[in-house]
Amino acid sequence: MDTARAHQEFLRTRIFPGLDGLRCLSIVLVVAHHVSGVHHGFLGRGYLGVSLFFAISGFLITTLLLREREAHGHISLARFYGRRSLRIFPLYYAVLAVYVGLVLFAEQDAQRKAAFFENLPAFLTYTSNWFVPQVPNTSIIFYFAWSLATEEQFYLLWPGVMRLAHRWGAVLFMTGLLVISLWAPWAVETGRLDDTLLSVRILASFAPPICMGCLAAYALHSPRGFAWLYRVLGYTWMPPLLLVLVLAAVATESTPIGLTSVVMTALVVSSCIRTGHLLMPVLTLQPIRYVGMISYGIYLLHMIAWNAVRRAVPGQHFTVNLVLTLGLSMLLAGLSYRYFESWFLRLKERLAAGPSPAKASHRASPAPASSPTP
């Protein structure tokens, strides 16, 4: 297929069926990391599943907004924030309320309990990535909210930039954020920046895969950028190869986060740039797509499930713990999706049915967390 025809087919695609499969991979990596309790090797680096979710989010949100402006000449921030709020806030605050009750009435460690309520304002305001630092060998309740905070800050910032800036202005802005997101953590690690300063923690909170996903969406939206990426990533065998490279990057501790983000973003792009690739039959298996569909709920509830499993059946092998935790997480998330979230999702679809473009995908869920603590 010539690139011009492939580009038109890409622009007409309303649902990218492979993304739920990638969400499934992301959440399984995170849950396996938490259940394993290790901090080295493949399982120890399973927290990097969050980076894949970030890449999906950056790519998908930007694609949606580009298509909205293409179809209607502008981006409706009110509709965007309305849709995002209905998708994210109800379950997040419901689960946070459950945590408040559990910590208040069931937490026996006075120090952990006090720390949770001290951190609660940051959890309520999606700023825990700035105000709740990870302390080595310390368990911080609800620490995983840092990734949702990162995601929410992206939602608050990026659509307004896209609306106000011309194409190259937005691209240059996101390129600058990408540079900062790669440089600031390195500068903190090497002592060039002091992460006790709020300004430094904010600089270090930008996520490279989100930035790369946004830039990839801009590239695919333009005929020239699409043609270049299609020649590189449009082969039918490319997604399976990139999946292997992603797993290798997760397993190899010496792999820089920048390179890992590049490979994960390439996997997202190659899975969407054409639907007829060799990995698609696996990504679209019904059980895999279902896990991806409810991955937001799994992410928010899996630490509750894991704590329940290890208290109910202590001393089990990792495989047993993982299967039980995933099963209980899926049960809770499935019930939540059907009987709680679906009501808000119907309202969200009503907003989407207004003067907004055909959607690039049926979902754009927040990223799963990557904390080794409950």
What pLDDT score was predicted for residue 370? 39
What pLDDT score was predicted for residue 134? 86
C-alpha 96/C-alpha 124 separation (Å) is 8
What pLDDT score was predicted for residue 355? 52
In this model, does residue 1 exceed pLDDT 80? no
Pairs from 278-281 (Cβ < 8 Å, separation ≥ 24): 278/236, 278/237, 278/239, 278/240, 279/18, 279/21, 279/239, 279/240, 279/243, 280/17, 280/18, 280/239
Other beta carbons within 10 angstroms of residue 286's beta carbon come to 7
Pairs from 345-348 (Cβ < 8 Å, separation ≥ 24): 345/86, 345/87, 347/86, 348/82, 348/83, 348/86, 348/87
Name the pLDDT band for 116 (thresholds 50, 70, 90).
very high
Find out whether 127 and 201 touch, Cβ atoms under 8 Å.
no
Rounded percentage of the chain residues whose pLDDT exceeds 70: 94
Q: Give the pLDDT confidence of 228-281 residue by residue, as tens digits.
A: 999 999 999 999 999 999 999 999 999 999 999 999 999 999 999 998 999 999
Name the pLDDT band for 318 (thresholds 50, 70, 90).
very high
**What are the angstrom distances between the C-alpha of 298 and each of 4, 289, 294?**
39, 13, 6
- In sequence order, the 6+-apart residues with CB closer than 8 A to the CB of 103 are 112, 113, 116, 117, 141
Lowest mean pLDDT, pick from 45-49, 152-156, 327-331, 370-374: 370-374
Q: Give the pLDDT confidence of 346-355 residue by residue, as tens digits.
A: 988 887 765 5
What pLDDT score was predicted for residue 140? 95
Find out whether 207 and 54 touch, Cβ atoms under 8 Å.
yes
SS (H, E, C) 102-147: HHHHHCCCHHHHHHHHHHHHHHHCCCHHHHCCCCCCCCCCCCCHHH
What pLDDT score was predicted for residue 354? 58
Helices (H), 190-285: 198-203, 208-221, 223-233, 238-251, 257-272, 280-283
Burial call 231-266: b when 16+ CB within 10 Å, e when fewer: eebbeeebbbbbbebbeebbeeeebebbebbbbbbb
